[in-house]
Amino acid sequence: MSDARPDIVTAAVLVIGDEILSGRTKDRNIGYIAEYCTAIGIDLREVRVVSDDEGAIVEALDALRHKYSYVFTTGGIGPTHDDITADCVAKAFGVPLDIHPDVVAILKERLAKMGGELNEARLRMARIPRGAALVPNKVSGAPGFWTGNVITMAGIPTVMQAMLDEVAPKLKTGAKLMSETIRADAKEGDVGSELGAIAKAHPEAIIGSYPFFDDKLGPNTNIVVRARDAAKLAAAKSAVEAMLAQVRAKIAAG
Amino acid sequence: MSDARPDIVTAAVLVIGDEILSGRTKDRNIGYIAEYCTAIGIDLREVRVVSDDEGAIVEALDALRHKYSYVFTTGGIGPTHDDITADCVAKAFGVPLDIHPDVVAILKERLAKMGGELNEARLRMARIPRGAALVPNKVSGAPGFWTGNVITMAGIPTVMQAMLDEVAPKLKTGAKLMSETIRADAKEGDVGSELGAIAKAHPEAIIGSYPFFDDKLGPNTNIVVRARDAAKLAAAKSAVEAMLAQVRAKIAAG
């Protein structure tokens, strides 16, 4: 898979937060964004999780934004001292952070309804890298933002999901990677070489093999065939099915 | 926190597998390893997820192994063509892959019990970077391996967990980061500036703030104070509690 193909759009996810690295909070955003990207035709190529550390965040932002079509960040955009994602995005892009009047208006409106004052802490959430577009947050008000090819979202899963829904219609997308799962009813070690030969003969299909334990049959395998082209997907799937029939017959024959 | 401190041991996790990036499989190893590291006194500093691509895996291995005390990898050590982690570790360290006689013996013993032949595919699992130590696998036989500071484990959570138990007693560990969680009974935006001031006054404590939704009280916050020193932890915790009492009184006074 070459990134130079115009029909391929790539992405990375950057999860920001000490609480994920300490194990206190279990991330639920990576899998969600991964499935979402696959569904809309974006190839998620890499994920990084870093701590609430400016150097680490800026370094990861710079590594990822130059390499992939999009970078989705989650976490670190709340009102406290450890929420430094906006500062880091601004630093990576070399732009100042401005108090964004639209965000101030959103926060004021929400506080009028929910109670609370627009203090210094909450005003942190109005600090937006200059030139960024806001990403609406229908769940809790304070928006994310879209700077260059970096989309900065909240860490709370429900808020992140709402933000992703806002952003998705505006993303460039590529040819979708379609997939078929074939249950092998054979052990992974019994189909490995055969599967490798099929993968070589079908270079435009991506063939993966995932062992699982079946309560009745014992060790079993799911074979996942993926391709951007329906005919190529069907051809690779047929090859896998023909191979499986042979392997099963051989095993049955002892 | 400086890595130069002799009482701090750091680690990174490298998750290898297309199935995680496509969203087909939801990772359950990152959170487990994170909690495990915290419990034994290792600071998990970074996580990366990359696809089954040699270039991507070797690049990540090289970036991480020079930066942290340990790198734990998960995934890509099975019997099929997409299992290329051993090749990548060998390449990163510039050593050949040898068929390891102890692994051959383990596989033969297991196959004699479970059925199946030691074919070319299964023999892939005996390919170990020269000089690496084996990491026993009590669940399914085929071992992981420990090369330099890189510990290569299976992707299947039960197998990975068994391997981590084998490795843990041999790891250098540092001063544990102890932690206390304080329920604020206040909104995050009402304690943000105050918390920032406490964080500044207690530089050896790490203070995090995590909003959650309380069914009775509405938006609420957990404040997590962490430190390697019990007295410093207690001092920061007291400061947070005193601050919270003040904030709550102010809010109650309207």
What residue in B sits closest to A209 (Cα-Cα)?
B80
Percentage of chain A beyond pLDDT 90 is 90
Q: How far apart are the first and last CA of chain B?
A: 40
Region of residue B167 (phi > 0: left; psi between -120 and 50: alpha; otherwise: beta): alpha
Question: Are A80 and B196 an interchain contact pair (Cβ–Cβ within 8 Å)?
Answer: yes
d(CA A80, CA A99): 16
pLDDT digits (tens, 9 = 90+) for B104-114: 999 999 999 98
Q: Can you read off the two tokens belonging to residue A63?
A: 């590594």
pLDDT at position A3:
53
Kindly report the nearest CA distance between residue B131 and chain A, in angstroms.
Answer: 25
Question: Are A116 and B224 an interchain contact pair (Cβ–Cβ within 8 Å)?
Answer: no
What residue in A sits closest to B32 (Cα-Cα)?
A23
ipTM of the complex: 0.95
CB B188 within 8 A of CB B221: yes
Average pLDDT of the residues in A142-149: 98
With a cut of 60, say whether residue A2 has pLDDT above it: no
Kindly report the nearest CA distance between residue A146 and chain B, in angstroms.
Answer: 22
pLDDT at position B96:
98
pLDDT at position A251:
82
Residues 6+ apart with CB under 8 A from A105: none
pLDDT digits (tens, 9 = 90+) for B77-126: 999 999 999 999 999 999 999 999 999 999 999 999 988 899 999 999 99
Distance of CA A86 to the CA centre of its chain: 20
pLDDT at position A6:
76
pLDDT at position B1:
40
| Residue among A1, A14, A16, A21 with most chain B CBs within 10 A, to mutate | A21
Question: Are A46 and B35 an interchain contact pair (Cβ–Cβ within 8 Å)?
Answer: no
- Computed on alpha carbons and rounded to an integer, the radius of gyration of chain B in Å comes to 23
| Residue among B15, B24, B59, B185 with most chain A CBs within 10 A, to mutate | B24
Q: Is B81 exposed, middle or buried (0-12, 13-18, 19+ CB in 10 A)?
A: buried
Helices (H) and strands (E) in chain A, counts: 9, 11
B178-252: which CATH topology?
Ribosomal Protein S8; Chain: A, domain 1 (3.30.1370)
Question: Are A23 and B45 an interchain contact pair (Cβ–Cβ within 8 Å)?
Answer: no
Percentage of chain B beyond pLDDT 90 is 89
Estimate the crossing angle of helix A230-252 against helix A188-201, to 10 degrees.
150
| b/e map A94-125, b = 16+ CB within 10 Å | ebebeebeebeebbeebbeeeebebbebbbbb
Average pLDDT of the residues in A143-152: 98
With a cut of 90, say whether residue A67 has pLDDT above it: yes
What residue in B sits closest to A82 (Cα-Cα)?
B208
| Residue among B26, B80, B117 with most chain A CBs within 10 A, to mutate | B80
Q: Where do the domains of chain A lie?
A: 10-170, 178-252
pLDDT digits (tens, 9 = 90+) for A193-235: 999 999 999 999 999 999 988 888 888 999 999 999 999 999 9
Question: Are A190 and B121 an interchain contact pair (Cβ–Cβ within 8 Å)?
Answer: yes
- Judging contacts by C-beta atoms under 8 Å, the chain A residues touching residue B33 are 23
CB A127 within 8 A of CB A97: yes
pLDDT at position A116:
87
pLDDT digits (tens, 9 = 90+) for B139-183: 999 999 999 999 999 999 999 999 999 999 999 999 999 999 999
Per CATH, B10-170 and B178-252 having the same topology is answered no
Kindly report the nearest CA distance between residue A85 and chain B, in angstroms.
Answer: 14
Question: Are B81 and A179 an interchain contact pair (Cβ–Cβ within 8 Å)?
Answer: no
With a cut of 80, say whether residue B2 has pLDDT above it: no
Question: Are B23 and A46 an interchain contact pair (Cβ–Cβ within 8 Å)?
Answer: no
Kindly report the nearest CA distance between residue A148 and chain B, in angstroms.
Answer: 23
Distance of CA A137 to the CA centre of its chain: 19
pLDDT at position B115:
86
Q: Say which CATH class B10-170 falls into.
A: alpha beta
Average pLDDT of the residues in A55-62: 98
Identity of the residue numbered B235: A
pTM (2 decimals)?
A: 0.95
With a cut of 70, say whether residue A1 has pLDDT above it: no
pLDDT digits (tens, 9 = 90+) for A3-45: 567 789 999 999 999 999 999 999 999 999 999 999 999 999 9
Question: Are A23 and B31 an interchain contact pair (Cβ–Cβ within 8 Å)?
Answer: yes
Question: Are A210 and B21 an interchain contact pair (Cβ–Cβ within 8 Å)?
Answer: no
Q: How many CB pairs under 8 A join A and B?
A: 202
- Judging contacts by C-beta atoms under 8 Å, the chain B residues touching residue A179 are 22, 24
**Residue among A92, A66, A93, A88 at smallest CA distance from A10:** A66
Q: Point out the least confidently predicted range of A135-144, B183-192, B197-206, B209-218.
A: B209-218
Average pLDDT of the residues in A179-194: 94
d(CA A12, CA A104): 30
Question: Are B189 and A45 an interchain contact pair (Cβ–Cβ within 8 Å)?
Answer: no
- Judging contacts by C-beta atoms under 8 Å, the chain A residues touching residue B156 are 211
User: B60 φ, ψ to 5°?
Assistant: -65, -40
Question: Are A26 and B31 an interchain contact pair (Cβ–Cβ within 8 Å)?
Answer: yes
